[in-house]
Amino acid sequence: MTPTTAEGQDRTLAMRRRLHEQLVAAIDIPAAEQLAGDQLESECRNRLERLATAADADLAPEARAALVASVLDDVFRLGPLEPLLADPTVADVLVNAPDRVYVERAGTIESTTARFRDRAHLMQVIQRIVRKAGRRVDERSPMVDARLPDGSRVNVVLPPLALDGPQLSIRRFPQQPLTLEALVARGSLAPQSAELLRACVRGRLNIVVSGGAGAGKTTMLNAASASIGAAERVVTIEDAAELRLANPHLVRLETRAPNLEGVGAVTTRDLVRNALRMRPDRILIGECRGAEAFDMLQAMNTGHDGSMTTLHASSAQQAIARLESMLLMSGFDVPVAVLRDYIADAVQVVVHLVRLPDGRRVVGEIGEIRASNGAIGVTPLHVFELGGAGAGVFRGTGEVPSFQPSLLAKGVQLDRSLFSSGPLVGGTKS
């Protein structure tokens, strides 16, 4: 009887488990501690080759090599996730259960054949990730954000918060950050929009990048930041470092979770306040979520022009409402009209990203923040309009931004044609 695919997978998993147990039992711990990492892995590989041959002498060389590699991945790396993380087309790895592992490619989530042996195996991998990142996760602290050495963002949620077992999510980022030109080539924005964003960054306008989860906010912040001058001192502040700026004068700061005693936490707000003492030209906050918005806007209003941040919002206008809420959270106790004027004075541009039904990510709107008579709104300059059959077009609204004189004063001139009404070059294709 020919074994089914499921039977073959079960047999492979069982053999992996046996080899793993035999390897651990055979390792001389004192001797292993004297070996460098590469030497130890080489020794383990040789031992596994012998164990695999002894277990099944008829095993094909390719199958034996794959089996040995999978056990080494279990021992030294991230186990069954390693092949997925080696695939450059994978944007997200999502583990819902030991036998339910998914990936996202090109905006579409699909199931994989990757499997953990059991929940304990999954927890071993989670703890390895968290320890290497200098974080902790357990029943007392069942949620954690961390990052892999390659910069990928990791989120873990454990029971009792996760009812169906440990949940592991890995958001990956390109090894080489995408440029605005690359985003134009992908159809994520029009060439005119890229030119406008470059001018806004060079002209030191303060920018908020908004969008939903997975819309590409960090990617856009990375791409836009490439236009920051090489002589400028930039301080980045993040929960888990994801930004990859090429600026030579860069200071990267990262928050810290509390220790086992519940003390020692360093928040985004703490780092923003400290960054103001570091003589930054610009401050980039990976994501504004709460009270740190007050300190960020204060920095923008007191000489740190050209600062940028991201936040979650469903529209450009909603991004302003979120900022209002964050200021109220920080204890900014002033009349609403004053609060709105404060936001309008601090932030000039909102770049809102959207994720289309087919998974594509595009710049849905570039708008200017304007306040008048106690009200605040976003005036669209460039927008994306979704058409039939999944096609869409980038359009100029005909609005001319009031920040043009400010850019001109800093030596940045914009062609007036960027603000003409009608379709822009580079509409996306279905």
Render pLDDT for 53-62 as a digit per residue (tens, 0 to 9).
Answer: 777 766 778 8
Which tokens belong to 45? 């590989």
- What is the rounded end-to-end Cα distance, in angstroms, of the chain? 46
pLDDT(123) > 50: yes
CATH class of the 180-423 domain in this structure: alpha beta
According to the per-residue pLDDT averaged within each range, which of 88-92, 217-221, 267-271, 347-351 is highest?
A: 347-351
Closest to 302 (Cα-Cα) out of 324, 275, 327, 329: 275
386 versus 236: the higher-pLDDT residue is 236
According to the per-residue pLDDT averaged within each range, which of 33-37, 125-129, 357-361 is highest?
A: 125-129
pLDDT at 160: 92
According to the per-residue pLDDT averaged within each range, which of 15-24, 181-190, 327-336 is highest?
A: 181-190
- Which SS3 state, helix, strand or coil, does residue 163 take? coil
What's the CA gap between 6 and 4, in Å, rounded?
5
Which segments of 79-216 does DSSP mark as H helices, in order? 82-85, 119-132, 180-186, 191-202
What's the CA gap between 32 and 142, in Å, rounded?
33
- Which SS3 state, helix, strand or coil, does residue 76 take? helix
Dihedral sign computed on CA atoms, order 394, 396, 397, 399:
positive
pLDDT at 429: 39
pLDDT at 29: 55
Count, residues in the chain:
430
Identify any residues that bridge with 111 across adjacent strands, giving them in sequence order.
Answer: 102
Mean pLDDT score across all residues of the chain = 86
What's the CA gap between 23 and 68, in Å, rounded?
11
Other Cβ atoms less than 10 A from the Cβ of 256: the count is 15
Q: What is the pLDDT of residues 262-306, one digit of tens each?
A: 788 898 889 999 999 999 999 999 888 888 888 888 888 888 899
> 368-377 contacts: CB < 8 A, separation 24 or more?
368/399, 368/401, 368/402, 368/403, 369/320, 369/343, 369/344, 370/344, 370/402, 371/340, 371/341, 371/343, 371/344, 374/336, 374/337, 374/340, 375/340, 376/320, 376/340, 376/341, 376/343, 376/344, 377/317, 377/320
Q: What is the pLDDT of residues 162-174, one digit of tens each?
A: 999 999 999 987 7
pLDDT(130) > 70: yes
Q: Which helix (H) or strand (E) is 40 found in, with range? A: helix 37-55
Closest to 250 (Cα-Cα) out of 228, 269, 272, 270: 228
pLDDT at 430: 34
CA atoms within 13 Å, Cβ hemisphere of 414: 28
Query: Among 3.40.1710.10, 3.30.450.90, 3.90.1150.10, 3.50.50.60, what is the CATH number of 77-172?
Result: 3.30.450.90
What's the CA gap between 122 and 74, in Å, rounded?
10
pTM for this prediction: 0.78
What's the CA gap between 416 and 22, in Å, rounded?
72
Q: What is the pLDDT of residues 91-112, one digit of tens each?
A: 999 999 999 999 998 778 999 9
Cβ atoms of 191 and 426 within 8 Å: the answer is yes
Closest to 354 (Cα-Cα) out of 379, 383, 389, 374: 383
Confidence of residue 51 (pLDDT cuts 50, 70, 90): confident
Domain boundaries, the chain: 1-73, 77-172, 180-423
Which tokens belong to 398? 């005909």
pLDDT(127) > 80: yes
